[in-house]
């Protein structure tokens, strides 16, 4: 695709949305699909109309979609053939007006290819759009309560692109591979939209495949690349790694979880590449730091990003001391969809509270040292124990449960459930996995389980003392 060809197709999509579906400024439109070019066309078309894209995580269980669809209340959903069975499953359970299939199959909804050639490629009428208008709603599970829809505005996405272009010196000749799922902020905002901003090249693939990535690096002359540590490990494990020429790569960025020293050393010694470590959230950036600092740091903040480290009373801490990372700037989200209390709690005097621990050294380089939020990062995906615990606690044999993260050589961390059973009850690991299979996405289901007579709890509040469980059960086993 040239930029001109893409623009013509975006206009076709926008005309279809406005004329055929009646989509207008402020409306939401959901998507349940693997990565594909129509996904990008839909995003830009909705943006042109002032409407809002709501990407859905295709890794979720069918029942989990209902909450998102009721919360965001989209007027339409676009989907691919691979997910039409899931879409058919929630028909009648939500108030969607339009079902549109990206593929030439009208079993569940209208087939977009059947009307595509008849759509006008003329530019639609201009719609007044401001920097504070929502452009994306991306759902991220909270450590407590129900999942939250993060409101990513036109201004936020634009300023993240500006920061990324300035901080990482993106150029029109840069090429990247869009492999990250587009229901994550990484799929849009690490490189995709910043590369569009720089007039570079996005190479779109359905999903990450190590051999394919290495082939594209060699064949297409990829210059910049993003991955989570698990992906870099998979590249190293590929039989094609040793023979792949990495000379076109200017830099690679890792995010989502800490990068192991063995991965850093392998890329440095075998491919002469230093992988930069970034830090971001769905709510902020995600490109907040230049990653230009010392090893083990994320470097200085991006050009239009303010960052500071504070104590529990929100006072800045001295250089070298640890505290919570707070971020401020035009690249921050507008809050959470239909959740004013959570939005208010996420900010203090205009600063976004990340919930993560960090420190800053005498050279102004930031380091990420821990997580305040009780979160497991598995293969770069955020898994929130509270959500899993709620699902397990609905089992009739379970009195209580705590889910902790344990080390895993491939995924970094995986979940382990410590379960307190009702007197006289039994529950095997296989039974638990079967019970959760239609309640949680497969990646959220714990990989290990142990039963205990009683969970350790505080006397005052009855909260489970997870630090005790981590000391006793923090191994990758069923003990």
Segment 147-192, tens digit of pLDDT: 899 999 999 999 999 999 999 999 999 999 999 999 999 999 999 9
Q: What is the predicted pLDDT for the residue at 51?
A: 98
CATH no. for 156-371: 3.40.50.12780
> How do residues 388-398 score in pLDDT, each as one tens digit?
887 898 898 99
Q: For CATH 3.30.300.30, list the domain ranges present in the chain.
A: 376-473
For residue 291, the model assigns a pLDDT of 86
- Is the domain covering 3-129 a CATH 3.40.50.980 domain? yes
Q: Whole-model pTM? A: 0.83
Domain boundaries for CATH 3.40.50.980 within the chain: 3-129
Cα 63–chain centre separation: 20
Decide if pLDDT at 406 tops 60.
yes
pLDDT over threshold 60, residue 461: no
Task: Give the largest Cα separation in the chain, rounded.
Answer: 70
pLDDT digits (tens, 9 = 90+) for 188-229: 999 999 999 999 999 999 999 999 999 999 999 999 999 988
What fold is seen in the domain 376-473?
Answer: GMP Synthetase; Chain A, domain 3 (3.30.300)
Average confidence (pLDDT) over 101-120: 96
Q: pLDDT digits over 3-15, tens only?
A: 999 999 999 999 9
State the span(s) of the chain assigned CATH 3.40.50.12780: 156-371
- Averaged pLDDT of the chain: 92
Instruction: Give residue 373's pLDDT.
Output: 63
**Chain segment 330-372, per-residue pLDDT in tens:** 999 999 999 999 999 999 999 999 988 889 999 999 988 766 6
């Amino acid at each position: 695709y040239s930029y001109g060809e893409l623009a013509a197709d975006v206009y076709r999509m926008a005309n279809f949305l406005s004329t055929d579906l009646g989509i207008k400024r402020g409306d939401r439109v959901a998507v349940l699909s693997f990565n594909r070019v129509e996904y990008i066309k839909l995003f830009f078309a909705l943006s042109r109309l002032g409407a809002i894209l709501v990407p859905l995580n295709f890794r979720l269980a069918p029942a989990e979609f209902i909450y998102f669809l009721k919360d965001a209340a989209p007027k339409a959903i676009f989907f691919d053939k691979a997910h039409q069975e899931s879409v058919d499953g929630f028909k009648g359970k939500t108030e969607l007006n339009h079902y549109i299939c990206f593929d030439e199959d009208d079993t569940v909804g209208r087939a977009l290819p059947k009307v595509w050639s008849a759509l006008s490629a003329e530019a639609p009428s201009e719609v007044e759009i401001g920097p504070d208008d929502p452009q994306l709603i991306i759902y991220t599970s909270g450590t407590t309560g129900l999942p939250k829809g993060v409101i990513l505005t036109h201004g936020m996405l634009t300023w993240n692109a500006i920061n990324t272009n300035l901080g990482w010196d993106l150029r029109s000749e840069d090429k990247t591979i869009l492999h990250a799922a587009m229901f994550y902020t990484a799929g849009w905002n690490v490189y995709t939209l910043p590369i569009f901003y720089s007039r570079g090249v996005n190479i779109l693939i359905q999903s990450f495949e190590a051999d394919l990535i290495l082939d594209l690096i060699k064949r297409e002359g990829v210059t910049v690349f993003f991955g989570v540590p698990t992906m870099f490990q998979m590249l190293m494990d590929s039989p094609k790694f040793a023979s792949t020429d990495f000379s076109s790569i200017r830099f690679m960025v890792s995010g989502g979880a800490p990068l192991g020293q063995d991965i850093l050393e392998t890329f440095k010694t075998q491919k002469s590449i230093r992988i930069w470590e970034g830090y971001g959230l769905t709510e902020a950036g995600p490109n907040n730091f230049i990653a230009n600092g010392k090893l083990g740091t994320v470097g200085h903040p991006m050009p239009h990003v303010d960052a500071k480290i504070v104590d529990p009373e929100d006072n800045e801490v001295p250089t070298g001391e640890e505290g919570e990372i707070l971020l401020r700037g035009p690249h921050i989200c507008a809050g959470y969809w239909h959740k004013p209390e959570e939005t208010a709690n996420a900010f203090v005097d205009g600063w976004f509270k990340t919930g993560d621990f960090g420190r800053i050294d005498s050279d102004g380089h930031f380091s990420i040292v821990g997580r305040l939020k009780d979160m497991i990062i598995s293969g770069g995906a955020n898994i929130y124990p509270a959500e899993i615990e709620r699902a397990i606690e609905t089992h009739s044999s379970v009195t209580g449960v705590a889910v902790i993260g344990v080390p895993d050589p491939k995924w970094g961390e995986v979940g382990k459930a410590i379960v307190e059973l009702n007197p006289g009850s039994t529950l095997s690991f296989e039974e638990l996995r079967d019970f959760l299979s239609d309640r949680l996405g497969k990646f959220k289901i714990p990989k290990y389980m142990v039963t205990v007579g009683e969970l350790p709890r505080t006397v005052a509040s009855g909260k489970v003392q997870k630090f005790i469980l981590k000391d006793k059960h923090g191994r990758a086993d069923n003990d």
